[in-house]
Amino acid sequence: MSENRVLKNINPERVMYYFEEISKIPHGSGNTRKISDFLVEFAKENKLEYIQDESGNVIIFKNGYKGYENSPSVIIQGHMDMVCEKEADSIINFEKDGLELIVEENCIHANKTTLGGDDGIAVAYALAILESKEIPHPPLEVVITVDEEIGMLGATALDCSSLKSKIMLNLDSEDEGHLLVSCAGGATVNLKYDADYEVVQNGILSVIEIGGISSGHSGMEIIKQGANAAKLMGRLLYAISEETDVRINSLNAGEKDNAIPRLANASVFFASEDEFEKAQSVVESYNQIFYKEYKNTDENIYAHILKPVKIGCKCMTKESSKTTIAMLNTVPNGVKKMSREIEGLVQTSLNLGIARTEDNKTNQTVCLGFSVRSSVDSEKKELIYGLKNLAQVLGVSFFVSGDYPAWEYKEDSVLRNLMFDIYKEMYDKEPVIDAIHAGVECGIFAGKLEGLDCVSIGPDMNDIHTPKETIFIDSIERTWNYILEILKRLK
């Protein structure tokens, strides 16, 4: 137990107490054993039944409050891991050290590090409810997962056979007054092609670069329909191939399939100075074309071809170069369909996030990596099948991994309707019904628990996953009161 607490005397007191206790325990993604064991000890101390699985996920059960014993049970769900980021001059060791919390007026943040409000506040809310003997609530199944931030690994691994609830309140959102009711399912798709290489002599080697692109997380930013450096490289190389016998030496664009590539470069070979000058003219033309097309989303976009070097080198054969350019230029990318139920929501998309050549034992492998997303599972499958068919036509290998289900919008959600009415009564305004074009754990649980009625909420947070992360005290309290009223009404 702590004596000198930073969050002492701040309401709701027990929520703040547990948030501070959690903050003292290292709990970055992949380093959750201590926080998992802390939750087990909490369950033991409060004489609550629990399950701790091999991954470290923890489920804690609590009987219903007096008069609620026979009410339908409810899952309260969040995750125990946090993203660990820090300022360059921070001396924290996230593997061993707790966080240094700071309170400034209405805000809580950490000293030069991420705060872990995502999703420590969910754990704190849950423990305060489980501890209390005064809060009316139905029978509870509190599910706290590991490693949500690195691919929802805990939720994916969790055996849900012990869960009986058909109602779930997820506490992993960051906008007070927003009821999150749907998210995209997704998958990673890779196309791979072993290119043939040969040594060529007495030619010109140059580098084409496309950059100046403002991009980000494909789930959140793809709606802007800005530039994708990998796709533009395919387009530019094809235009050059129409004028020259360009050959590819190497290719590099993007680092993660779920991030829109900001920069792409291709090392290319031309047989003569004349061929290079033709390519140079094409690049100059497309530099203007790209700016005209994307100036509203990517005002600093550019396409350059760098000063050539006369050299012999190893590069793709003409045929392999054509296949690689065809792959880049023909694969689909971007927003495919908007939702008709929720205004402004991307329903289905795919992002070409990686395009690169990698050394193998004999030559090089061309690798294209995609993040496929949809809040409608049938549309996600359609995109995956389309990429598979395209791979067959091009004669390249196809791989799919990390497939997770969509959390589809539930038109007849009793929980959403109840929470809408409660919020309007408490705060005299309507909550926002929201959805995101990215994966959240609700989608995993909806796929495992047939008929699950689920809504996600949370207090206001800013700059999550950065050292500027902040959570607002008054919003924590309002959200706490809202949660208690929801539980009280679920009788």
The Cα 231–Cα 227 span in angstroms is 8
User: Active site includes 198?
Assistant: no
Give dist(CA 1, CA 391) in Å, integer: 59
* Active-site annotation holder among 21, 118, 141, 148: 148
Of 20, 21, 81, 408, which one is the catalytic site residue? 81
Q: How far apart are the first and last CA of the chain?
A: 34
Q: What is the dihedral of CA 189, 193, 199, 205, to 10 degrees?
A: -30
Structure tokens at 273: 């100075």
Task: Say how far apart CA 217 and CA 417 lie, in whole Å.
Answer: 31
Q: How far apart are CA 198 and CA 316, in angstroms?
A: 6
- Provide the edge-to-edge strand list for the sheet that holds 101-104: 101-104, 107-110, 470-472, 461-462
Q: Which helix (H) or strand (E) holds 207?
A: strand 197-211
d(CA 462, CA 43): 31
Burial of 410 (0-12, 13-18, 19+ CB in 10 A): middle
Rounded Cα distance, 366 and 326, in Å: 12
Q: Does the active-site annotation cover 149? A: no
Give the catalytic positions in this structure: 81, 148
